[in-house]
């Protein structure tokens, strides 16, 4: 693994940073104050992201994407993640899993997602099935050539502005009576689908989650992604990498919080000295910097392993766990260093701290990551 970035990678980093500075940061305050992202602003940022070549940079060149490998994509994600998620997400990318499209699905879903004409969202979670996805009740039944879908998904990010959903649903049970899952592409503006308001969330203002109800929703037989009953396998192939996205954005927000705390430590005076002169403060900085460095290295190693095709579930889980928990600690300590001002909305720390909370929950909770890691340690020993 090469520790120096190439000239192209530095260019990519600088392009992303410049985009964040010019197009995203200025809108953070509006988002914080209104908890709302106006449609015109969404469209404008998306247009600029397409022009800058950032949109769909993860997607294959032959279908019009940017063709970045996982390592370079992680660099882009990390630096986009510096900004409020609701803004950064616009400049982002279609879900990796769409690369599983075959046949007519390529022209109907994959290509329009890459050009930005059609937006995707992804729906796995249900009111009674979060960590235990196999317990999902949403089901798809074959009727002639079609699939008929019934059920409810909740916590679905950005469904209100999406055109279609990558939907996981039960398509039967195995011999042990366990749910078998399959993955479908479902247009959201069709009969039998209702996108309803979700919940108000303390993290990531302006980033909307929805409930989606499917009521005898009929879709063509071809709209299945991958093989019937192989939804879990599909998740493993395509969705492990999304844990690194969470890790990447966590690292850059921790760096942002750290820089604020460092600056404060070097300038805020109490008892006639800058507070950074007190070990009670400076040792916090030392621990924060060390943890950020460790998180960065784990992140880059995991991204590199995706390209090498050697990333294990354990690697992805460790990286997500460490980077998100590190962000929680760093943002909390940064507030401590800034004292009362740390909690005021005049500086973005209280927001980074609030936003940090969700990272230990979505894309698999910290407990689920620990479960994956510990199983991979113990299983070979038969325990």
Q: Are the C-beta atoms of 193 and 213 separated by less than 8 Å?
A: yes
CA distances from 129 to 155, 201, 231, 320 (A): 11, 19, 15, 21
State which of residues 155, 184, 238, 264 lies at the interface with ligand FAD (CB under 6 A): 155
Pick out residues in 264-293 that bind ligand FAD (CB under 6 A).
none
Among 50, 237, 358, 373, binds ligand FAD (CB under 6 A): 358
Given 84, 125, 138, 319, the residue binding ligand FAD (CB under 6 A):
125
Cα(72)–Cα(12) distance, integer angstroms: 8
CB neighbours of residue 141 within 10 Å: 14
Number of residues that bind ligand FAD (CB under 6 A): 21
Stretch that binds ligand FAD, among 4-12, 42-50, 169-177, 366-374 (CB under 6 A): 366-374
Task: Report how far apart, in Å, the C-alpha atoms of 114 and of each of 43, 270, 342, 365 are.
Answer: 15, 54, 40, 29
The answer to whether 76 and 20 have CB atoms below 8 angstroms apart is: no
**363 classed as catalytic:** yes
Binding track, positions 185-224, relative to ligand FAD; x by CB under 6 A: ----------------x-------x---------------
DSSP state of 26: G
Give the residue with the Cβ less far from ligand FAD, 75 or 121.
Answer: 121
Q: What distance in Å separates the CA atoms of residue 353 and residue 376, rounded to the nearest whole number? A: 31
183: nearest Cα among 96, 119, 241, 107: 96
Count of residues in the chain: 383
Taking alpha carbons only, the member of 99, 114, 108 closest to residue 53 is 114
Q: What is the DSSP letter of 129?
A: B
Q: How far is the CB of 383 from ligand FAD (least distance, A)?
A: 16
Shortest Å, Cβ 42 to ligand FAD: 17
User: One of 128, 325, 363, 367 is an active-site residue; which one?
Assistant: 363
Angle at 235 between CA 229 and CA 237, to 5 degrees: 110
Q: Which is nearer to ligand FAD, 74 or 157 (CB)?
A: 157
* Binding of residue 321 to ligand FAD (CB under 6 A): no
Asked if residue 362 binds ligand FAD (CB under 6 A), the reply is: yes
Q: What is the closest distance, in whole angstroms, from the C-beta atom of residue 126 to ligand FAD in the complex?
A: 8
Phi, psi of 249 (to 5 degrees): -70, -30
Q: How many CB atoms lie within 10 A of CB 246?
A: 22
The answer to the question of residue 341 lying near ligand FAD (CB under 6 A) is no
Type and span of the H or E element at 126:
none
Q: Which of 41, 341, 361, 373 binds ligand FAD (CB under 6 A)?
A: 361
Report residue 310 as tokens.
């050697």
Nearer to ligand FAD, 15 or 376 (CB): 376
Q: Which of 76, 110, 124, 306 binds ligand FAD (CB under 6 A)?
A: 124
Which stretch in 88-96, 213-221, 310-318, 361-369 sits in contact with ligand FAD by CB under 6 A?
361-369
Q: State in angstroms the smallest separation of the CB of 120 from ligand FAD.
A: 10
Provide the greatest CA pair distance for the chain: 80
Active-site residues, by number, are 363
Residues interacting with ligand FAD, by CB under 6 A? 121-125, 130-131, 155-157, 201, 209, 358, 361-365, 367-368, 371
């Amino acid at each position: 693994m090469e520790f120096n970035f190439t000239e192209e990678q530095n260019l990519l980093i600088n392009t992303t940073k410049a985009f964040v500075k010019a197009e995203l940061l200025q809108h953070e305050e509006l988002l914080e104050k209104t908890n709302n992202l106006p449609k015109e602003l969404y469209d404008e940022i998306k247009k600029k992201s397409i022009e800058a070549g950032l949109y769909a940079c993860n997607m294959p060149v032959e279908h019009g994407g940017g063709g970045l490998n996982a390592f370079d994509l992680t660099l882009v994600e990390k630096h986009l993640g510096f900004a409020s998620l609701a803004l950064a997400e616009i400049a982002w990318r279609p879900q990796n899993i769409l690369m599983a499209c075959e046949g007519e699905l390529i022209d109907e879903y994959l290509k329009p997602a890459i050009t930005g004409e059609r937006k995707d969202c992804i729906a796995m979670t249900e009111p009674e099935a979060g960590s235990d996805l196999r317990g999902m009740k949403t089901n798809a039944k074959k009727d002639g050539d079609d699939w008929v879908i019934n059920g409810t998904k909740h916590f679905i990010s950005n469904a209100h502005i999406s055109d279609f959903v990558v939907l996981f649903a039960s398509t039967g049970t195995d011999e042990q009576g366990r749910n078998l899952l399959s993955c479908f592409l479902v247009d959201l503006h069709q009969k039998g689908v209702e996108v309803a308001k979700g919940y108000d969330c303390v993290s990531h203002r302006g980033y909307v989650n929805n409930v989606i109800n499917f009521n005898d929703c009929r879709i063509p037989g071809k709209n299945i992604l991958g093989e019937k009953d192989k939804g879990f396998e599909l998740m493993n192939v395509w969705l492990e990498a999304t844990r690194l996205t969470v890790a990447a954005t966590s690292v850059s927000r921790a760096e942002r919080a750290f820089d604020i705390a460092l600056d404060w430590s070097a300038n805020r005076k109490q008892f006639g000295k800058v507070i950074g002169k007190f070990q009670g403060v400076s040792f916090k900085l030392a621990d924060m910097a060390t943890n950020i460095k460790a998180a960065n290295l784990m992140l880059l190693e995991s991204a590199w392993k995706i390209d090498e095709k050697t990333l294990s579930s354990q690697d992805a889980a460790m990286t997500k766990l460490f980077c998100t928990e590190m962000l929680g600690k760093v943002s909390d300590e940064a507030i401590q260093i800034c004292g009362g001002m740390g909690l005021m909305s005049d500086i973005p720390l209280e927001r980074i701290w609030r936003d940090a909370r969700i990272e230990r929950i979505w894309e698999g909770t910290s407990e689920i990551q620990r479960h994956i890691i510990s199983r991979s340690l113990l299983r070979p020993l038969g325990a």
